[in-house]
């Protein structure tokens, strides 16, 4: 199992477009990918779960990866976070 914790810097927080991009990337991997924020955990492969967290700008969130391709999933999510200027 691998984890990364980041601070959301997008002024709007984790809104629909970047959340959708994260979900799209997460679904490409067989590993379980979770997003933990505000004391709650969501399946990163579900846009509804991610949006329900209501992640605001400045929040610290943790991405958890567990499975055979967890390292590749982690790297792909980090790339989206950087490319989209989310964290």
Catalytic site positions: 15
CB atoms within 10 A of CB 11: 10
47 vs 71: CA distance, rounded Å: 22
9 vs 18: CA distance, rounded Å: 12
């Amino acid at each position: 199992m691998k984890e990364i914790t980041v601070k959301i810097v997008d002024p709007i927080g984790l809104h629909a477009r970047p959340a959708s991009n994260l979900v799209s990337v997460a679904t490409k991997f067989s590993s379980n990918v979770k997003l933990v924020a505000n004391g709650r955990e969501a399946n990163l492969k579900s846009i509804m779960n991610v949006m329900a967290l209501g992640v605001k700008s400045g929040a610290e969130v943790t991405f958890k990866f567990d499975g055979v391709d967890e390292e590749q999933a982690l790297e792909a999510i980090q790339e989206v976070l950087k490319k989209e200027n989310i964290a």
